[in-house]
Amino acid sequence: MAVYATILGNEHYAFSDLKHVLAVASHRRSGDDLAGLSAQSDAERVAARYVLADLPLKLFLNEVVVPYEEDEVTRLIIDSHDKIAFAPVAHLTVGELRDWLLAADAKALSAVSRGLTPEMVAAVSKLMRNQDLISVARKCRVTTAFRNTLGLQGRLGTRLQPNHPTDDVRGIAASVLDGLLFGVGDAVIGINPATDNIPNAIALMEMLDEVRQQYDIPAQTCVLTHVTNAIEIMNRGAPLDLVFQSIAGSQAANRSFGIDLAVLRESYEAGLALKRGTVGNNFMYFETGQGAALSANAHHGVDQQTMETRAYAVARAFDPLLVNTVVGFIGPEYLYDGKQIIRAGLEDHFCAKLLGLPMGCDVCYTNHAEADQDDMDDLMTLLTVAGATFLIAVPGSDDIMLNYQSLSFHDVLYLRETLGVKAAPEFETWLDRMGIAGPDGRIRELELNDPRMSRLLSNASLVA
């Protein structure tokens, strides 16, 4: 294994292998500190970045950070690498790739996407300022569709997350109504069930599907149950739109989630046969987050941001409708404060979009992190400028089931008003038809005695 070294000032710095360079070059975060992978000083971090900038991209195809023989994610990355797509940048170093990305247009970025490995993309992100991450990600256009079209320029999708601590159908339905009246829910109306079993998931799916059909909502619904439950639910003929699963960047980490590539493939093939989409048939939904592999002791000595980016290789193998990082959800053990959460969110979005994924974000933090809602305001604004596919919103920004802080429906209104981003076109047309929003996308004020409000309240599942 090669040793990478440089002299910075009067000091000599040496790094034992590629994953050591990647780890030390990373921006500071508590998860890497916890794993003993961080730079010992700012000078060492800068030295690692000098080394990283001069590494040829071809090196990443020959020196893997997790052994090929031991890890099916590594095998997926190497075996699916597109040499033709790689050709335009094959002669570049990591530093030169940064310059190329900043100068490239959307067409060139799309063409090269399948030629880049997650490790290449993670590496170049470590050399980029926040504005670089935003600038390049904004040019990456990834469009997907199911009952509406997501990822179009000038659009920001939203996940309506109506979680309830006891999965009470009436409570969930009230939150769904609340979100719809704010124009939220085009990306997905998605419930994290408090109790994850098949009968409960089916009951929630049937309620969501009833509401969707009652109002002819051009959106998709999802109960975020385990993928093995989803397979059985599809076999039983329940109204499942999206197949959901949390994923990570190593075989061992995915095993801790109770999955492997084979079971994801089985769920993908089952979902294809349903053909429930109306304008497209992207139906997989994946969630990721920096620190997942470390928390499962399945990181193989790889820094958490590189390991997170490897999860995107798993996601793109299944043509998902949606992917999002739950950037601050795991806690301060992995992302300590607002500064680390903001940087991680921009990194995750950049890396995923560059790899060709429809990337969104749960802009969130736990109550014991050194972060607050001002940090979330900053991150949601930056991600919207960067062209995020969608963001997640909950009533009042407080998820009363998962006990963490996210974005509110009002935050979505701020983003739409301030940055001029609109909902998916099919959903926007529906909002106008229902009297919720005008042709300009602005939400209308509805009184309780307004006939349009009565129409929304008429559904039995919402008033039972």
Residue range 147-172, pLDDT digits in tens = 999 999 999 999 999 999 999 999 99
| pLDDT at residue 452 in the model | 56
Question: How many of the other CB atoms lie within 10 Å of CB of 92?
Answer: 18
Q: What 3-state class would DSSP assign to 314?
A: helix
* Opening angle at CA 365, ends 175 and 73, nearest 5: 100
Query: Would you place residue 455 in the very low, low, confident or very high pLDDT band (cuts 50, 70, 90)?
Result: low
Residue 70 in this model has a pLDDT that exceeds 90: yes
Residue 3 in this model has a pLDDT that exceeds 90: no
What are the distances in angstroms from CA 182 to CA 387, 410, 431, 441? 21, 7, 10, 11
User: Whole-structure pTM over 0.85, yes or no?
Assistant: yes
> Which residues on adjacent β-strands are paired with residue 194?
none
Instruction: Report the DSSP pairing between strands 11-15 and 4-8.
Output: antiparallel
Query: Would you place residue 310 in the very low, low, confident or very high pLDDT band (cuts 50, 70, 90)?
Result: very high
Dihedral angle over CA of 115, 119, 121, 127, nearest 10: -140
- Closest C-alpha to 292, from 330, 322, 266: 330
Residue 363 in this model has a pLDDT that exceeds 60: yes
Where does 247-357 show beta strands of DSSP type E?
Answer: 284-288, 322-326
Number of continuous H segments (helices) and E segments (strands) in the chain: 23, 14
| pLDDT at residue 391 in the model | 98
Q: Model confidence over 383-414: pLDDT tens digits?
A: 999 999 999 999 999 999 999 999 999 999 99
Q: Model confidence over 203-235: pLDDT tens digits?
A: 999 999 999 999 999 999 999 999 999 999 999
Query: What tokens were used for 342?
Result: 């903001």
Burial per residue of 64-73, b for 16 or more beta-carbon CB atoms within 10 angstroms, e otherwise: bbbeeeebbb
